[in-house]
Structure 1
């Protein structure tokens, strides 16, 4: 009789035949071994064991429906969907996997490319669906008048760039009308993939995401589950310039005195933990941004500091599309079951809910602000309590497309010749923070069941806005101080050819363009009329949300 994968795993792990262990425990041990030694042989054995386990669980497993909103990213979408297809080929989830791509592109050629890709993936055997803009309009036309916060005010001829949150809400309306059996809906972003090691030379499938998600929902009372991301940060470049300049100054300080010396950036490094990239990490209860991180040089073989600086300089332009060259979040393996804990933030690019969770549309979606996930999370935390959880089930986040080194499309970031304009992104970030911290205070006072009377909502947002404005000013001052140090280091070098530093000087010009007092975004944030207008809009939205939430739940229920 042929040896089963589980028998082979027992032998590989050095377990005796007398040692009693169930399949779940054996898989957990095999995962630990794979994380310690991510060899191709162990990866194949792990996948074979997961397939054997799946064969026993078909009668009870959930169907996983992976939902991918996409706007003008055909190449990045291909990486995403191919990784999902490869994941399903390797693990063969017991309940099956379906996929829904939801269109939000402006470019008609990109829409066609997305549709063609979905057909290609479907022809390869994955249950794949494509929700085009015409079908979306048919869904929302009779509803948007009563759900403007969730759906915005769209037009049939202008259904592109509605925003990721509105697009996700439209996807939920479509999902509510489908007849999936025992579904779990997994929302991800189009710039993410299902392999999890950001430093690996080849894709490594080190987690059976579908099986873990299925088991967590089967063995715990969960309505909404959120994961996180590894690799590139899930935040805006508007709030990362300070930490990058901090690290760049440290790199130049170490490298410039001996540019021809062997590279000294290959020591042991702990990597950048959660939030380490964020200039205002302390605002969210994190302190990782205060320290300088040892740069992990990606070059192999013998090379000098000049080689290191040249390679790093070539990556600096990617920062404005969302990469952080010195603070990449590594995959830090943690047992999934024991990682389960109460959540307060939704990572909208990696979260899962059951059919009941469809009632939790993304609030304030039409405002197109950042921090939609954390805002939703605070509302879920109050409503669901222990049924809103987080677990160590990361996806790999890649802001830039590998072949070009840039994002295909990034809302709020405009490339204008040699300039990169972050003003739209910066404003979306500030007002998104205003929305989030205002909601935190409102929830603490009993919202949405209890709404402050009179103009107290406006007063609350005004107070929050003043505090945030102070935080933003402090960070900008720090950025400009670090930028001045950075520019002095570049101007004061005498041992390196000047052309080596042109990418660094260009980076400095772009930071100054976006953070200096005369920058468009800074002028907007400092304008009382700008803040007053957004406070008014947020107050109106806060008052209208409870009735629209009830209407939303009625429609998807």
Structure 2
């Protein structure tokens, strides 16, 4: 292969990024003695498990909010409950983020494909408030939640402070992304670079440039200055709405656990 082949191959994969793939990153499984790979865990990859009856005690929390990071949030709860017994091991992951035949996610809510545009603003919003839920829960678990009842004002303050913290973090990252967009746009469109020379002679290069420009258009749509996702999370009314939803869900979780435990007893599951 040559530079043109590599350039074209990368370009073809770029837009899979919006469906959750990592075009420049591959993680390969290397077999090891499983017992030697055991280490403290902190997250759950929902849907990747075969579990026994005892494992039925735990369920995906706050599912009705439809936020991302439900697995890591469940992991923090299990860690608070199980302590050092909550561990992970090096095992193969038997699924991919995208379908090889299409390059798109098979089941990924929050992503809208409309002709050339890929809009991930809904997933972006779910990610932001999922992060708020996750790290609010982490702080509350360190206070003894869910076994210990945490006062409502403490829960509310924790969530509101986490929204402020995450807004600062996302805003900093947004600024970095905007600079990267400018850099990549300049590189792709610079007439002095080889991929802008003799375009008519190399159809593969021309096609690759179209893929890069398609990618840049979608990056601008989702992460540029006017991206709707950033407007959504900076809206005070949206912040208030999600603060209430998250606080209410955290308060009701102990009751949800009790109801689930009662349900399991009806099926003789301990």
2:66·2:126 contact (CA, 8 Å) conserved in 1?
A: yes
Partner residue in 2 for 1:523: 231
Partner residue in 2 for 1:333: 31
Q: Distance in 2 between matches of 1:434 and 1:318?
A: 26
Q: Distance in 1 between matches of 2:108 and 2:45?
A: 18
Q: Distance in 2 between matches of 1:352 and 1:445?
A: 31
Aligned Cα RMSD in Å? 1.5
Q: Distance in 1 between matches of 2:173 and 2:32?
A: 33
Which deviates the most, 351-360 or 528-537? 351-360
SS in 1 for 2:49: strand
Partner residue in 2 for 1:412: 110
Which deviates the most, 537-546 or 409-418? 409-418
The CA deviation at 1:347 is 1.3
1:484 aligns with 2:219: no
User: Which of 226, 247, 251 is 1:543 aligned to?
Assistant: 251
1:360·1:553 contact (CA, 8 Å) conserved in 2?
A: no
Q: Give the TM-score, by structure 1 length.
A: 0.44
Unaligned regions of 5+ residues in structure 1, if any? 1-302
Partner residue in 2 for 1:296: none
Q: Distance in 2 between matches of 1:405 and 1:454?
A: 45
Structure 1, residues 308-347: CA drift from partner, whole Å, max 9, x if none?
A: 1111111112111111110111223332111122211111
Distance 1:454 1:376, change over 3 A: closer
The CA deviation at 1:446 is 1.1
Q: Distance in 1 between matches of 2:113 and 2:16?
A: 12
Partner residue in 1 for 2:268: none
The CA deviation at 1:450 is 2.2
2:111·2:118 contact (CA, 8 Å) conserved in 1?
A: yes
Alignment of 1:109-124 (within 5 A): none
Alignment of 1:225-244 (within 5 A): none
Structure 1, residues 94-114: CA drift from partner, whole Å, max 9, x if none?
A: xxxxxxxxxxxxxxxxxxxxx
The CA deviation at 1:402 is 1.8
Partner residue in 1 for 2:17: 319
Q: Distance in 2 between matches of 1:341 and 1:306?
A: 43
Distance 1:408 1:374, change over 3 A: closer
Q: Distance in 1 between matches of 2:100 and 2:17?
A: 14
1:349 aligns with 2:33: no
2:152·2:251 contact (CA, 8 Å) conserved in 1?
A: no
Q: Distance in 1 between matches of 2:43 and 2:166?
A: 19
Runs of 4+ in 1 over 3 A off after TM superposition: none
The CA deviation at 1:484 is 0.6
Q: Distance in 1 between matches of 2:146 and 2:105?
A: 37
1:516·1:522 contact (CA, 8 Å) conserved in 2?
A: no
Partner residue in 2 for 1:370: 68
1:525·1:531 contact (CA, 8 Å) conserved in 2?
A: yes
The CA deviation at 1:520 is 1.2
SS in 2 for 1:353: coil
1:414·1:422 contact (CA, 8 Å) conserved in 2?
A: yes
Q: Of the two structures, which has the highest relative contact order with CA contacts closer than 8 Å and spacing of 6 or more?
A: 2
- Alignment coverage as a number of residue pairs: 255
Q: Distance in 1 between matches of 2:148 and 2:254?
A: 10
Q: Distance in 1 between matches of 2:236 and 2:33?
A: 49
SS in 1 for 2:51: strand
Q: Give the TM-score, by structure 2 length.
A: 0.90
Distance 1:381 1:408, change over 3 A: closer
Q: Distance in 2 between matches of 1:493 and 1:329?
A: 35
Alignment of 1:10-409 (within 5 A): 303-409=1-107
Distance 1:480 1:397, change over 3 A: farther
SS in 2 for 1:395: coil
1:469 aligns with 2:167: yes
Unaligned regions of 5+ residues in structure 2, if any? 200-204, 266-270
Larger radius of gyration: 1
The CA deviation at 1:383 is 0.7
SS in 2 for 1:326: coil
